[in-house]
Chain A
Amino acid sequence: MSTQQSIKIENLVKEFGKGDSLLRVIDGASFTVNKGELIALIAPSGAGKTTLLMMIGCVIDPTSGTIWLGEEKVYEDKWITHNSRKIRREKIGFIFQAHYLIPFLNVIENVTLVPQTNGVSEKQAKADAMKLLEYLDIADKAHSKPSALSGGQNQRVAIARALANNPQIILADEPTAALDSARALSVVQMLKKIATEQNVAIIMVTHDERMVQRCDKIMKIENKKIIFEAVEIPS
């Protein structure tokens, strides 16, 4: 197996419900995402985008198939890993449509919560977090509560939180949907920069054509399976 591979999925199936109400959302998906790639995941609403990301993130149980994260096979018809939460906090960064910051923690505490849980010292975690916040141009708000920040500012903090554990994989579920187009574009540019500079594999769910153009590949869910398309840059 290639050392460039970050996510490898084989024959992944996901069903919800039982009997008459059985719903197969993903029906034998197989694909690989390499390190440093920014993938745009496009599919209609209800097609299973969030479900797919949550399976990759070891949050919800697949029905069958195989999932590799980096070198580690985490799922093969059942969970192989015993501590999916450890995998999440050490290998994966999550970004959502809403920022989902913890309201009673200030910006820097939100960003350092996971690294400190991972055993990084408070001092080190704070120094790292300040660098990230500077990188995301939000360092001046380090000691504010999320309630004092605008939507765009909070989303940048949420990105900082997703990056704070130096993840190998970032799973971003419509991270720009709640932002105006200028801010949305800057978020995608930032993700692109992170993917390239830090060799992180990123899957980003989006509906926005202009965002897609910044990505390396397009991933689609068609007939409950995954297909890839090249990004077309209009001339």
Chain B
Amino acid sequence: MIHLAQKDISHTFGKFIVTAMGVGMLLGIVLIMIGVYRGLIVDATNLLDDVNADIWVVQENTLGPFAESSRIHEDLKNTLKAIEGIDKAEAITFQNIQLYTNSKPIRVEAVGFDPFGDIDPINPLHLIKGRTLNRAHYEVVVSAETGLNLHDHIDIGRDSYTIVGITQKTVSSGGDPLIYMSLKDAQQLQFSYSNATIRNDRDRGAVSNPDLHIVNAIIGTIKTGYNNNIISDNIARWKHLSVYTNNEQKEILTKNVVEKSSKQIGLFTIILVIVSTIIIGLIIYTMTLEKIKEISIMKLIGIPDGVIIKMIVQETVLLGFFAFIFGNIFSHLTYDKFPKRVILEAPDALTLFGVILIASVIASFVGVAKVVHADPTVAIGG
């Protein structure tokens, strides 16, 4: 049997391809939207994965340190170390700061950790240049996303720091690039008062006595053979602290931090898919109208509706297929130009492919309805 859809498409191939490119760009945007969502999830848990702790100990009744602020004493790490089943425990701080470089201010999240401690939150796989911190003061490791270079000097707070290492793709749950500094520097930055504040307080008769031994969380790893949940529950019960396992922390992050954005993006994606379906439907409707005389003739000489409908549905599916191919090309050409992380995953593309095939079949109904109602005598006139 003659493949009518293929013959019709190749008859007006240029037009068909340009149309498919147009729809393809729309699908490309859908793929990017999904990629933005995937990027959001990875960004949200990126720091958590790099730190790779088993438990997170934070201030009582808070969802800290990412979803809510948390302050606890640094020396709790020693208490933690003494608990049966705990392997390592270290203090860690997080704070948003603004870096002033020559070009423009950059918002970063500073991670403070003890360079001589047991847990290094810098994932060696992400360290692309230089080394991790190995001095107590004035060294930082920064994300390549900050645009800063190895051995550069930058001013943070009252001090000047040397960049000793560069990491890649290390961002906070909000997508800001990370910088790593020693715990002492971080505490100084976060909790010390400026000279002016101290002077003012003194004038008022108050004593400025900042407690510099505060951190945002204690992270710990657990020995093999011990259950994370049981140990976490024990600490929480006896020490008036909130304790989260890595999985719980991940859930807090993805739920509290990402849920709204993902709903936003999800809704956007659904709307775009619907718009694409409507546009494909309109295109097929016009394509069918352009062929209505030929369709009438086919009906007149006795071609069954099924043969003609098959042609319309196949053309729609082919349009969807080509648009999908162009969409993939478009998204792969553009995804790395976006400021935040966009992750294109094959399973997402495959799902979209399935959705587009179904959407194409639905979109073809408007053309099919035209075929069914076409009057065979239209072509020959009265």
Binding site for B on A (CB under 8 A): 50, 54, 57, 59-60, 85-90, 92, 94, 96, 100, 102-105, 109, 112-114, 116-117, 122, 145, 161, 173
Contacts and interface: CB of A to CB of B under 8 A. Distances in A.
A166 to B, nearest CB: 13
Interface residues of B, number: 25
Which 7 residue pairs of A and B lie closest in terms of their CB atoms, listed nearest first? A89-B302, A88-B302, A104-B11, A104-B8, A85-B302, A100-B297, A104-B7
Contacts of A86: 302, 304
B382 to A, nearest CB: 7
Contacts, number: 70
A181 B105 CA distance: 87
B206 interface: no
A122 B1 CA distance: 6
Interface stretch (B75-83, B140-148, B262-270, B373-381): B373-381
A85 B2 contact: no
Contacts of B302: 85-90, 92, 114, 117
B301 A109 contact: no
A112 B300 contact: no
Contact of B297 (A90, A102, A122, A145): A102
Interface in B1-57: 1-2, 4, 7-8, 10-12
Given A89-B303, A114-B301, A109 B376 contact: no
Interface string B348-382: 00000000000000000000000000001101111
Nearest to A109: B2
B382 A50 contact: yes
A5 B377 CA distance: 27
Nearest to B379: A100
A114 B301 CA distance: 8
B2 A103 contact: no
Interface string B265-306: 000000000000000000000000000011001111111100
A85 B377 contact: no
Given A59-B377, A88-B300, A117 B294 contact: no
- Residue picked from B297, B300, B376, most chain A C-beta under 10 Å: B300
Nearest to A145: B11
B288 to A, nearest CB: 13
Contacts of B381: 50
B307 interface: yes
A85 B11 contact: no
19 contacts: A59-B377, A86-B302, A86-B304, A88-B300, A89-B302, A89-B303, A96-B380, A100-B293, A100-B380, A104-B4, A104-B11, A104-B294, A105-B2, A113-B301, A113-B303, A114-B303, A116-B2, A117-B302, A117-B307
Given A86-B302, A96-B379, 15 more contacts: A50-B380, A60-B377, A88-B300, A90-B302, A94-B300, A100-B297, A102-B297, A104-B4, A104-B7, A104-B8, A104-B10, A104-B11, A113-B301, A117-B303, A122-B2
B11 A173 contact: no
B64 to A, nearest CB: 67
B294 A103 contact: yes
Contact of A103 (B10, B11, B301): B11
Contacts of B4: 104-105
Given A109-B2, A109-B7, A117-B1, A102 B300 contact: no
A90 B294 CA distance: 20
B290 to A, nearest CB: 10
B178 to A, nearest CB: 59
Contacts of A89: 301-303
A178 to B, nearest CB: 13
Nearest to A102: B294
Nearest to B5: A104
Nearest to B299: A85
Nearest to B9: A104
Nearest to B7: A104
Contacts of A100: 293, 297, 379-380
A86 B307 CA distance: 13
Contacts of B303: 85, 89, 113-114, 117
A145 B11 CA distance: 10
A60 B4 CA distance: 26
A105 B376 CA distance: 19
A21 to B, nearest CB: 15
Nearest to A173: B380
